[in-house]
Structure 1
Amino acid sequence: MLLHVPNVLSKVQVQSIRQAMAEDNQWVSGKKTAGGQAQLIKDNLQINTSSELYQELSTFVQQHIQSSLLVQSFALPKDILPPMFNRYENSGHYGNHVDNAVHFYAEKNKSVRTDVSMTVFLSEPDEYEGGELIIEDTYGAHEVKLDAGDAIVYPATSLHRVEPVTQGARIAAFTWLQSMVKDDWQRAMLFNLDMTIIQLRQKLGDCEETVQLTSHYHNLIRQWAEL
């Protein structure tokens, strides 16, 4: 299941991030963070993760991801890795791949299982040509190209790619989340149930039926969550 999350960052916040990137040029080859297989299909730039700029921007974006109620409901995050930043231009692309199953979270000195992938777009769609994020699942291939500040969240088990950028530059933040609920299908069911409860409460208030559904939702989390 894929989820479009609008306005993770406001337009003003996106502009501030872009201005900081322009004033402090810290772009390095994305191949430096790629494994042997990925290096053959990855052609982009990434913000140097050792720079002060990266630390500042990553913390800022991570805080806004954590505060998104839709992300919380969809991913049920246990850990959110510090976001990284990439730039595609001059036919830059990233071929079909599946993200690494585990990343090391240095700040917490622990390994994090990557259950959910997330991309926050920092370029408007009309700023570049190509650069679509293509995500494949059992229902086919989904083409994603969102407004700046919006995010796409999807299972990290998905095969995906970034099409070549033939004009302009595509800039984005990306990260991974470990969920309290490991199974994609269980997370999707919990998300749909949560959204249904919210809609029913708006129509009916906290009646007996909505309270029962809410209880059912939380009991399922107790059953499935890994803490």
Structure 2
Amino acid sequence: MVLIEQLLSHEEVNLLRQHLDQVPWLDGKGTAMGMAADVKSNGQADANNETVQQLANSLLAKYGECAKLVSAVLPHKIFPPCFNRYCEGETYGLHVDAAVMRLPNSTDILRSDMSMTLFLSSPDEYEGGELIIQTEFGEQKVKPKAGDAVIYPSSSLHKVTPVTSGVRLAAITWMQSMVPDTHIRELLFELDQNIQQLLSNQSVPRAQLDSLHHIYHNLIRKHSVF
């Protein structure tokens, strides 16, 4: 599970929310698959609306520019972000994301390796509404600042607890990685993060950094699948 702080700035969040206030919202059950529909109670911005599509595309561009996201996921395909809204009493019970998704207006499909929730409401704007993710280390409760995002395995069971007051806004997406093996992907992320730290250390010899880059990119070459 990877937290990306301030993927969107305060100003970017506010502008996004101003646009979302003007778009049509639908019952979120309409986009749930299988058993997930039985436990889903929220609203979802109409993905066929032109403004919603433009907002989703703007987020896709932002995601592609985020070095930490790219490092953690090594994305091959990204599903256009979906905007959801939880009002008082709404929730999304324990579920797992669909393994395979069809990209909108396309014949292409996406294998969901990683999911990401981008929070668009500040924690003090709503009560409840925590994202709960089941991991091998137990349940992880997530309720970060507006503009923060959390990336987690799509294979994990997760839920959104009932909102007891206020409104919770978020954007969710799913990503197919070039490296499908979760363990290898985690090791590559750790390796890349260490390389980035060494790059800021002027005393590290260039030859050492070149060697680490050589290892990193050849591991991606070996383990990537398209």
Check whether TM > 0.5: yes
Contact 2:23/2:52 (CA < 8 Å) preserved in 1? no
Q: Give the alignment partner of residue 137 of structure 1, picking from 135, 138, 141.
A: 135
Give the AA of the match of 2:188: L
Q: CA deviation at 1:206?
A: 4.6
1:226 aligns with 2:222: no
TM-score, with length taken from structure 1: 0.96
1:154 aligns with 2:152: yes
Contact 2:20/2:52 (CA < 8 Å) preserved in 1? no
Query: For residues 216 and 61 of structure 1, what CA distance do their matches in structure 2 show?
Result: 31
1:105-162 residue CA offsets vs partner (Å, 9 max, x unmatched): 1345300100010010000010000000001111111000111111001111111000
Contact 1:121/1:171 (CA < 8 Å) preserved in 2? yes
Query: For residues 2 and 172 of structure 2, what CA distance do their matches in structure 1 show?
Result: 15
Contact 2:23/2:49 (CA < 8 Å) preserved in 1? no
Contact 1:80/1:176 (CA < 8 Å) preserved in 2? yes
1:212 aligns with 2:211: yes
1:165-176 matches, within 5 Å, as 165-176=163-174
Q: Give the alignment partner of residue 36 of structure 2, picking from 4, 22, 38.
A: 38
Q: CA deviation at 1:60?
A: 1.1
Give the AA of the match of 2:132: I
Paired position in structure 2 for 1:7 = 6
Contact 2:76/2:177 (CA < 8 Å) preserved in 1? yes
Contact 1:8/1:150 (CA < 8 Å) preserved in 2? yes
Deviates more, 1:49-58 or 1:184-193: 49-58
Matched residue SS, 2:97: coil
Identical aligned pairs, as a percentage? 43
Give the AA of the match of 1:171: L
Gaps of 5+ in 1: none
Contact 1:114/1:176 (CA < 8 Å) preserved in 2? yes
Aligned length: 225
Deviates more, 1:205-214 or 1:148-157: 205-214
Matched residue SS, 1:112: strand
Contact 2:33/2:98 (CA < 8 Å) preserved in 1? no
1:88-103 matches, within 5 Å, as 88-103=86-101
Assess, with a 3 A threshold, how the Cα gap between structure 1 residues 158 and 36 changes in structure 2: closer, same or farther.
closer
Q: Give the alignment partner of residue 111 of structure 1, picking from 97, 109, 124.
A: 109
TM-score, with length taken from structure 2: 0.96
Query: For residues 216 and 63 of structure 1, what CA distance do their matches in structure 2 show?
Result: 28
Query: For residues 169 and 104 of structure 2, what CA distance do their matches in structure 1 show?
Result: 25
| Regions of 4+ moved over 6 Å | none
Query: For residues 52 and 206 of structure 1, what CA distance do their matches in structure 2 show?
Result: 51
Q: CA deviation at 1:190?
A: 0.1
1:151-189 residue CA offsets vs partner (Å, 9 max, x unmatched): 001111111000000000000000000000001111110
Paired position in structure 1 for 2:175 = 177
Gaps of 5+ in 2: none
Deviates more, 1:81-90 or 1:34-43: 34-43
Give the AA of the match of 1:100: A
Q: CA deviation at 1:53?
A: 2.1
Q: CA deviation at 1:208?
A: 2.1
1:73-129 residue CA offsets vs partner (Å, 9 max, x unmatched): 000000111000000112111111110001111345300100010010000010000
Contact 2:120/2:147 (CA < 8 Å) preserved in 1? yes
Q: CA deviation at 1:66?
A: 1.2
Q: CA deviation at 1:210?
A: 2.2
Contact 2:133/2:140 (CA < 8 Å) preserved in 1? yes
Give the AA of the match of 2:147: G
Give the superposed CA RMSD.
1.2
